[in-house]
Amino acid sequence: MKIAEFKLERLFAKYEFSTKYLLSSSDCDGFSMKEVLDIATEDELKLWENLKLGYTESQGHPLLLEAISQNYPGLTTENIIIASPGELNFSVMNSIMNAGDHVIAVSPAYQSLHEVVRSIGCELSLWHPDQESWEFKIEELQWLIKSNTKLIIINFPHNPTGTYLKESEFQKIVEIARANNCYIYSDEMYHKLVHDMPIVKPIASMYEKGISLWGTSKSFGMSGVRIGWIACQDKELIGKIGLFKDYLSICSSAPSEILTLIALNHQEYFIQHNLDKIRSNLKALEAFVEKHDQILSYTPPKAGTTCLLKLNIDISSEEFMEKLIAEHGIMTVPAEYFDIEGKYIRIGLGRKNIPEVLEIFDVFLESFYKS
């Protein structure tokens, strides 16, 4: 198997821990161990303290499977499997797809949503949003369907645009998939981080061939825990994903499973904390863009942790990124890393210090006006 370099992850590997400020991260600040354990019940603390650091169950800790299944109306523990999100994406695609199958995927997208199916030899068609509103039109998805389409890959809340859909739009995607006997792989890593719209239930609860991915990294502010899960109605598929996963991590980290259990059992606390921070950062961003409206514009995100900032400047967004790192130690992700045409940078709204970073960014932009 050959697979293309993961450009975005290479960029983060280079700058995430060597640059002073991060303006484009898609995760929320990591909670401390103390905060997580402080909120745990006595029973949860007992599980934590008495935990044996041996191998864990291949499908996942039974209590964790139970807690996860509560989030998927109509599903039980047999409909869930636990691993890291990247492994799950890999295992799902390799379990259901073959060379020559046709796939439709949202674009821009987190790169693995395209590259893994490409590496299998699938034919990929990209479903693009309108470049002003970042809205994905359902009729355009319909036009992309072919006789050999086997899978539709979606990601709402959407990274990087912050787009979200109404329930009726999710239902239309399901209708298209059902009429063409396609799977829907719904990357729901930002599930429940919705700003001012109703939260739609996971695709796994909506559609018999719907596959939902969620995990701790974004909604819960625990990216270091490295736990994700797949939920789907098809128990046989859960088994197939497990067979593939045997060649990857075998089973999940024992401490991480218990931390995830605590996160899920107290999810209102974690998710609300992150939403409050994102909303407050959005206000700061709005004022910032208003101040710099000669060179910046954006479409406010509806959900998730990210949005795109359009740059009305003379240099490319990649050059802009390099200059901003060199002069002020602020890392951004330019449009090129999402194969977006035009000059944009991604803004990450899940970090507490965003107002402080915007103040330094402000100085950088002032110098831009003069040049």
Ligand X SMILES: Cc1ncc(COP(=O)(O)O)c(C=O)c1O
Binding site for ligand X (CB under 6 A): 26, 84-86, 110, 155, 159, 187, 189, 215, 217, 223, 228
CB of 181 to ligand X, least distance (A): 25
What lies within 8 Å, CB to CB, of 26 at 6+ separation is 159, 160, 218, 304, 305, 306, 346, 348, 350
Residue 88 or 282: the one with the smaller Cβ distance to ligand X is 88
Q: Which two tokens stand for residue 180?
A: 């063409």
Quickly tell me which residue has 């024992």 as its tokens.
254
Residue 207 or 338: the one with the smaller Cβ distance to ligand X is 338
CB of 197 to ligand X, least distance (A): 18
Residue 16 or 362: the one with the smaller Cβ distance to ligand X is 16
CB of 228 to ligand X, least distance (A): 6
Residue 270 or 288: the one with the smaller Cβ distance to ligand X is 270
Query: Contact at 8 Å (CB) between 176 and 145?
Result: yes
Residue 60 or 365: the one with the smaller Cβ distance to ligand X is 60
Query: Contact at 8 Å (CB) between 254 and 60?
Result: no
Q: How many Å separate Cα 216 from the centre of its chain?
A: 10
Residue 116 or 282: the one with the smaller Cβ distance to ligand X is 116
CB of 160 to ligand X, least distance (A): 8
**Pairing state of beta strands 21-22 and 210-215?**
unpaired
Q: Which two tokens stand for residue 255?
A: 């401490």
Closest residue by beta carbon to ligand X:
217
Integer CA distances (angstroms), 27 to 82, 143, 318, 366, in order: 20, 33, 22, 28
Residue 221 CA to residue 349 CA, distance in Å, equals 12
CB of 367 to ligand X, least distance (A): 31
CB of 188 to ligand X, least distance (A): 9
Using CA of residue 141, residue 172, residue 132, residue 316, what is the dihedral sign? negative
Q: Is 177 left (phi over 0), alpha (psi -120 to 50) or beta?
A: alpha
CB of 84 to ligand X, least distance (A): 6
Residue 9 or 66: the one with the smaller Cβ distance to ligand X is 9
Residue 100 CA to residue 118 CA, distance in Å, equals 10
